[in-house]
A and B are shown apart, each in its own frame.
Chain A
Amino acid sequence: MTGINTVELGVFTVLFIGVAVMGFLAARWKSGSTMDHLDEWGLGGRKFGSWVTWFLVGGDLYTAYTFVAVPALVFGAGAIGFFALPYTVILYPIVFLPVLRLWSVSRSHGYVTPADFVRGRYGSPILALIVAITGIVATMPYIALQLVGLEAVLRTMGINGSGFIGHLPLFIAFLVLALYTYRSGLRAPALIAFVKDALIYLVIIVAVIYLPAAFGGWGTIFDSAAAKFDATPSPADGILLTSNNQLQYATLALGSALALFLYPHSATGILASRGRDVIKKNMIALPAYSLVLGLIALLGYVAITAGVKPIVNESTGRPDGNTLVPELFNTQFPSWFAGVAFAAIGIGALVPAAIMSIAAANLWTRNIYKEYISRHATAKQEATQAKWASLVVKFGAVAFILFIDPQFSIDLQLIGGVIILQTLPAVAIALYTRWLHSVALIAGWVVGMAGGLYLLWTIPNPTIGKDHFGGSALTLSQLSIFGWHPFGDSTLQIYVGVVALAANLLVAVLLTLVLRALGIRDGRDSTSGRDYHADEGDPALRPVAAH
């Protein structure tokens, strides 16, 4: 393979060291009276304003992995990969009202995680535990995937070894990340997100102005992509959707949008904001990132036109599709600019990885450690526990990438979207009504999880030679309920997540009716109506970082 590109690596390293210094200094930024409280370490003092929240949540939701994997999908399969745009457009109208209620009730009661809310709303430690574990399991592979994104960039710069030495730069990058997250908590990614997003916007604006012009305009780019897809034997790819995958496209976008704010790291970004108005403004402003994501997706077609070939991963021997966009910059731009682009993606991996590890650590501390291990833990003990947990989570993610095939992380991420969706009834619906019984919610979760995992297991992917976990598109004719095929031999495809969620809801509703008819009482609801409308400036508002 080619050697290391020193200019690219130099620019990358300088920017990387710069943000590391910022990460350590962030502990002093807008600091509160103490760092020994989850409100401070885990939520940045619950006082981020509109701008900080915009950068933080933008950096949190639009991750490095998204920026490399979405164009890779568009490159390989065409129109279906563009689902990322409708997904991130319908997201904000859907969550606009529920997240406000989540923020208010969490602010009123000092909840740090979605599972805290479930605990308070239903008085059921088991339901809260289920929500917490689902959140942690769904988040872990997501963190590992940020490493996949970071590695794609390192590989393009020529750092493409195998074994421990080959992974050493990645290991160092994550060690630095782990240390400043330990020290500064959520303030570190919040501050670094400014740099990440400024770089991303700069790089993308230059790329989408320069690249189409260099290749004869968007018309030529789409035509050459269409010609490539026509030449492949697969009938499923193309620059338009086929008759079979339109339902998959719409349900994947909808299911992903419903799932995103159930991920604990999304909730962390929202709960760290100062008030309802900050969140509302952000729901209007965040689609700026969606626009960028849509443009980045189209770089997949530009890569086809430019004849970019993915770089072979020397530790697995397979081509790494995630190197497409980095390789496009590598071949089309001067080295210094490619270095800036790589730093944007690399730093773009650190921000969400930090927030996700904090979110997972908060879940562990609040809903497992404090609930089951040390019931009388003080605020300081909680903060210490969370700091250590964030280290464990990050090193777990590194171990994932070092010792297990990265493909496994990608499979798990696919599963993650389906399983986190199963917490929708217990978290999102509970924000509006407590009609669903907590026992019925647990039963619905079990059915949704088991059904979703089973369906994912049955999906093959012949093009990469896999029999199981080959994707999230279920052909309706394959859907069988104990041997009954409700959709006959339909060849339409649908996203597994929404099928599993439908089963989950059905069970939850039916069982609630039964339990109510039997008069079985539910746990205690410690929230009250006005909690869902609390806002900054209310006289009786709970103080931050108080125990």
Chain B
Amino acid sequence: MNDDRQNDKDPTAWDSGNPVDRIEGTGRNRGNAIQFSWWNLLLVVPLAMLITAVYNRDEPRLFGMPMFYWYQFSFVAVGVGCVAIVYLATRNRRRPPSATGSGADLQDVTR
């Protein structure tokens, strides 16, 4: 399966050498199967709003709002933008196997 090949090549399954995993492994245990993408680093960018020294000032004002407020409001867009880029850039990395087949009834997982 698609899925299997991806796991075999997964370079990040570093933890499967851990004694705990070896002892308790169920045979198909491939560690933690962490999938890394450089795009994910974009998720760190919004944390810049924690650096209060940058924007803890009154001037310049925007629509009468001190910089402290409009700067943080602008980070709503930064946060949304970063998450959206990561979503779009990594969305095809792991396709559900059946999506390549019929794909029509993806929603009906309960049936």
Q: Interface of A with B (CB < 8 Å)?
A: 32, 45-47, 49, 79, 82, 85-86, 89-90, 92-94, 96-97, 123, 212, 217-222, 239-241, 246, 249-250, 253-254, 274-275, 277, 280-281, 283-284, 287, 290-291, 294, 298, 432-435, 521-526, 528-530, 532-533, 535-539, 541, 543-545
Contact = CB atoms under 8 A, between A and B. Distances in A.
Q: Chain B's interface: helix, strand, loop or mixed, by majority?
A: helix
Contacts of A32: 110
B33 A529 contact: yes
30 contacts: A86-B75, A93-B43, A93-B45, A93-B47, A93-B79, A93-B82, A123-B24, A212-B64, A218-B64, A219-B61, A239-B58, A240-B56, A241-B56, A241-B68, A246-B56, A274-B109, A275-B106, A287-B80, A290-B76, A294-B72, A433-B32, A524-B24, A528-B25, A530-B3, A530-B7, A530-B30, A532-B32, A535-B94, A538-B96, A541-B109
A85 B57 CA distance: 17
A532 B10 CA distance: 13
Nearest to A431: B32
Contacts of A284: 80, 83-84, 87
B17 to A, nearest CB: 11
A274 B107 contact: yes
B7 A90 contact: no
A537 B96 contact: yes
Given A47-B109, A217-B64, A89 B18 contact: no
A239 B57 CA distance: 9
A245 B42 CA distance: 28
A434 B76 contact: no
A528 B30 contact: yes
Contact of B76 (A97, A275, A287, A541): A287
B109 A536 contact: yes
Given A32-B110, A241-B68, A283-B83, 18 more contacts: A45-B110, A47-B107, A47-B110, A79-B56, A89-B79, A90-B79, A93-B45, A93-B79, A97-B40, A123-B24, A240-B68, A250-B52, A280-B91, A434-B15, A434-B18, A529-B13, A529-B29, A530-B7
Given A85-B73, A97-B43, A294-B73, A544 B110 contact: yes
